[in-house]
Amino acid sequence: MASGVIIDPCSLLRTAPLATSTGSLVLATSELIFYSGLVQPSIRKKSDSILAKYWRYIFPRGVSLVLALNITTIGTSLCNIFLKNPHSQPLPVSRTTFYWAGLIGAIGHLTFVPFVAPPIQRILDNPDPEAETSKQVDIWLGLHRIRMLVADIPAWLAFVGAAMMTDR
């Protein structure tokens, strides 16, 4: 006879930060590929004519998704850290260690806001379709790459580590 539990809530909680950080990383990678394509020299002039209008449409939707993913990652990481695991053992590296590392990465993503906000604001405020908006996108892309390398990828790797830890 089955126990009646189809899905273990503790397993869902343990894997939730991995799922949401995967979503963040997929979104960040997609943005990198897509926006890098729009600033290539062969189409840069054409892109300059539409980038500001495009960002005004996309940005509110994208930032909402990024915030939802990061807040969920942070919240579920904190739950995993502070809800006592009955099987926890005093290991030098525990599941909690990985959750702390991932949490730092997720918060690290948000600490880039003061750096990415100015170029984004210049893109959104640009009323001139002839202006070189692609230069601001280049600045944002540079910061975006750094943010992915120092925050998003390390957070994701930490959550992979947390998900792979076994209870003994």
Residue pLDDT, tens place only, 72-130: 999 999 999 998 665 555 557 788 899 999 999 999 999 999 999 999 999 999 888 77
CA angle 94, 8, 103 (to 5 degrees): 40
**Burial of 107 by CB count in 10 Å (0-12 exposed, 13-18 middle, 19+ buried)?**
middle
Residue pLDDT, tens place only, 3-30: 556 787 888 899 999 999 999 999 999 9
Residue 109: predicted pLDDT: 97
Q: Which of 128, 123, 126, 73 is nearest to 103 (CA)?
A: 73
Domain regions of the chain by residue span:
9-164
Residue 52: predicted pLDDT: 92
The answer for residues whose C-beta is within 8 angstroms of residue 152's C-beta and 6 or more apart is 21, 24, 25, 28, 105, 109
